Amino acid sequence: MPSQWLLLIALILISFYLLKSKPSAKTQAVRRLVLILALISGAILVIVPDLLFTTASLLGVKEGSDLLLYLFIVAMMFYIVHQYRRMLSMDKTNTDLAREIALLRAEMDEKTSTR
């Protein structure tokens, strides 16, 4: 089925993109663009619900609700990987800040003890 291959490729591409990319303005812009496209697509599917069934049929999925579930899984994987990368970045920032504070405190203690 073509839908299985498309979903598998989408998951792999999302994983590589999010795991390899570093937080930057470009990645933030891409995430915002994906969010906007998802919102517009959702609005279109609410207005024209038969479009989901037609798209599902073209991709080889039996029902539109199955396609919606698959798309939700891809979106959740995107979100999970993004949050994981964000957590790693925040952990690194916290570690760097803690080291800097410890060095500054040691420097201040050294200065006050020599007086």
pLDDT tens digit sequence for 34-91? 778 888 888 888 888 888 889 888 888 888 888 889 888 888 888 888 788 889 889 9
Please report the DSSP string for 19-63 in residue order.
HHPPS-HHHHHHHHHHHHHHHHHHHHHHH-THHHHHHHHHHT-S-
Report CA 25 to chain centroid distance, whole Å: 14
The whole-model pTM stands at: 0.64
Contact yes or no for 82/31 (Cβ under 8 A): yes
Q: Domain extents for the chain? A: 2-114
